[in-house]
Chain A
């Protein structure tokens, strides 16, 4: 009978609009949210695990309603006279709900990862335990839902548990290690130490089994469910303790000169060790990516190459390395490299890379970087009225139209505001230069003069073949 009931319940669950709706919604929403980012095997499963909480919530509510169904709509008396007991129904639900929930989560997770992998070159390192945790979280939601439905007669019990768990997961994600005791820990960054995902997966599955035992114990204390609950608890405690003992990432100190020594020791070797990078030379430029991120090098090249191609040959030959680094690391000795971010895909990230190469080419990179540094809170580097500013904006224009200084998107937690200060006149001349035929030859022919910090725009206009169109005075305290 349990088998038939299991099939009956499984069929009802599969057809339940909350379940299939969430199964469709999760990959759709997550795809939409990460649409402007290249697939990242480090981050995508973690992000999807967080959003899969919606599916788990739906499963928990549906499972609790199915389990408490016996006590509603005047059915207790009708059901009481049947040979099939409540225990059979609980057992069937404990088989059906985790199976359907797990399958739904696997479909949602698999669908999302497939969409991501098909959407472009994937970087990062896949932790296989992460997507499995999304499946396990749905399984846990299912058994918890059945336990809640069996132990509480109130319809509101399931949604209430969802609300409490949702609050803990979404509203308080950064405080304390105990968050690893929640079924989902959605906060992560690519440069953080590895997550205790395997221990967490074991913990989530053990807690799921524990709630299954608790649901069965509602009917009668039988040896098997009691032993299963105790065994599950015995597995949940050490695995949960292991997961929760993981230290959160080390935070950088403020108001000190940062060095590699400040980086969390657990990732120092991975990101700063001798084998941290995989470097490739492409058309005279060296690109270095962290292990797993090599597929993004051609994408960085698309932002770098047009700018480098516009430089004179001598300058091009001395082009710096493009090296992937976390935007969270800003050290005194990391000048001389162009930094590619830990994520890729947003148009601003493309612009930022082009900007850095252009500023390097025009001799402005160090000033821009120095003035950007948030720890020093330096004044802006005023480059208004300088010919090299127009050249730099023209170089950026090879990739992205010249525009006013603004906050650029580095990643979802961080923005970057250039340390250089330019105005509308510089933007206007850069646009005129971009539209001017033979501009590249003129710039390259007069490169030495144009990139001198003392050359004004008015002095450079004849060299660039441009008419004086805008008033472009130099700043009161120009940045040289």
Chain B
């Protein structure tokens, strides 16, 4: 269980987190929000790479503000940053092995088995001996994910993990994360709303460092209940609408003339929520 209380972080004049309260449990929690909403700052505070100005994080009874407890927490978390790094002159195996050592997997046999396991999880077994610089962008993203998976962490923090992945890899990623979410806490930040809809039992929508919404994807979709419309002609108003693949117009908000109601999706709820917040 992770409890976040009154978490506040300010960069110069920009308040990235503004007294955020949040509780995270077992399962996959998706963070949604526009750029600058504070998602990455929140994940960095959770990953202990950034100290908040105010407020507390309590993860599994450990307080990251304390040096010893912070180290203990780091042993239990896996973190995929927004822009994961990699040493181009290392092989994929060596890079993950290096991170595994830094994760205190000291027994060589066990560590190497673990490295092979996580490489297999992200489908990079065949690239184990390949230099990182020769890997594609998607492969590097999977390699970074492999590092986060080392040691079967209790808390998995993934910041935009599906960037650069092709559709097949995204499906594989969803299967992997949904499996991990059955027994541990997974927090992921993404702009891919369909990933959230497919994966997350819980969604937190953030804006200006605060949680606008905290609930299931179904409840987020329900925000737009009765406010999604399909029509043959575009609405005359300036409200949000777009032309769908079948040539009809999908409008959020006030129904245009001769429109029929449509079932809302997570994206509709998210857009409606942000529109209202604005």
Contacts and interface: CB of A to CB of B under 8 A. Distances in A.
Interface in A66-97: 69, 72-85, 88-89
Interface string B153-165: 0000100000000
Contact of A83 (B71, B94, B147, B157): B71
B85 A1 contact: no
Interface string B53-88: 000000000000000000110110101010111111
Contact of A84 (B94, B101, B108, B111): B101
Contacts of A77: 44, 49, 81, 83-85
For B49, B77, B85, B111, the residue with the greatest tally of chain A CB atoms inside 10 Å of its CB is: B85
13 contacts: A12-B94, A74-B83, A77-B83, A78-B81, A78-B99, A80-B48, A81-B48, A83-B71, A83-B74, A84-B101, A84-B104, A85-B71, A89-B102
B277 to A, nearest CB: 29
Contact of B102 (A69, A72, A74, A84): A84
A81 B47 contact: yes
A5 B101 contact: yes
A82 B76 CA distance: 9
B33 to A, nearest CB: 20
Interface in A24-72: 69, 72
B104 A8 contact: no
B106 interface: yes
A310 to B, nearest CB: 67
Nearest to B102: A84
A75 B101 contact: no
Contacts of B131: none
B81 A82 contact: no
Contacts of B85: 72-78
A223 to B, nearest CB: 17
Given A69-B87, A73-B87, A83-B74, A78 B101 contact: no
A275 interface: no
A90 to B, nearest CB: 13
A5 B147 CA distance: 16
A12 B49 CA distance: 27
B149 interface: no
A73 B86 contact: yes
B144 interface: yes
Interface string A108-135: 0000000000000000000000000000
Contacts of A81: 47-49, 74, 77, 79, 81, 157
A449 to B, nearest CB: 80
A406 interface: no
A428 to B, nearest CB: 66
A77 B47 CA distance: 10
B97 interface: yes
B105 to A, nearest CB: 8
Q: In which size bucket is the chain A interface?
A: 20 to 34
B184 interface: no
A2 to B, nearest CB: 10
Contact of B88 (A8, A73, A80): A73
A300 to B, nearest CB: 54
A377 interface: no
A8 B87 CA distance: 15
A85 B74 CA distance: 11
For B77, B94, B101, B108, the residue with the greatest tally of chain A CB atoms inside 10 Å of its CB is: B101
A4 interface: yes
B144 A78 contact: yes
Contacts of B44: 77
Contacts of B227: none
B241 interface: no
Contacts of B81: 77-78, 81
Contacts of B49: 77, 80-81
Nearest to B82: A77
Contacts of A78: 79, 81, 84-85, 99, 144, 147
Given A4-B108, A77-B49, A77-B81, A82 B102 contact: yes
Contacts of B147: 78
B63 to A, nearest CB: 16
A84 B97 contact: no
B91 to A, nearest CB: 11
A81 B102 CA distance: 10
A447 B98 CA distance: 84
Interface string B112-135: 000000000000000000000000
